[in-house]
Amino acid sequence: MNPKTVLVVDDEPFICRSLTFVLRKANYHVLEARNGEEALLAIKQHKPDLVFMDVMMPKINGFQVCTQVKQDPELLQTLIVLLTAKGQASDRDLGLQAGADEYLTKPFSPTRILALARELLGA
């Protein structure tokens, strides 16, 4: 069985590295992107099973990427977890309106990310 593919999108290198490390250790195939434009390209090209994506990023923010992905019939099955420092209910509502499957507020532990990946992917 092929490992599930997870895309980690964050403009903060430390967050990208730590999430990638934890997910790879759990045998997920992990790709990285540093901004919304890279994320959209990677999602269209690789069709990951799950995306962990920061909301506040240069070029295209996480809400916009999420909306575009969820409007594309070929990418509808892509699971998206938005990661943000903004914990207000209105921000969570914006994320869910954009089509996010989950919304996680920073700071979070890498073990929480791994547990969420296993829960969403059933792996």
pTM of the predicted structure, to 2 decimals: 0.94
Q: How confident is the model at residue 2 (pLDDT cuts 50, 70, 90)?
A: confident
pLDDT exceeds 70 at position 1: no
Q: So what's the pLDDT on residue 58?
A: 82
| Domain boundaries 5-121, corresponding CATH code | 3.40.50.2300
What is the reported pLDDT for 92? 80
**In this predicted structure, what is the pLDDT of residue 110?**
85
Burial 11-20 (b: 16+ CB within 10 A, else e): beeebbebbb
Give per-residue pLDDT as tens, 77-105: 999 999 988 767 787 888 888 999 998 88
Residue 100 φ then ψ, to 5°: -60, 140
CB 26 within 8 A of CB 121: no
Domain ranges of the chain: 5-121
Report pLDDT digits (tens) over 32-69: 999 999 999 999 999 999 999 999 988 899 999 999 99
Distances (CA, A) of 46 to 34, 67, 75: 16, 18, 10
- Exposed / middle / buried, residue 115 (Cβ in 10 Å: 0-12, 13-18, 19+): exposed
Give me the pLDDT at residue 54, please: 93
- Predicted local distance difference test score (pLDDT) of residue 31: 98
Say what the pLDDT of residue 123 is.
64
Classified as helix, coil or strand, 60 is: coil
pLDDT of residue 89: 75
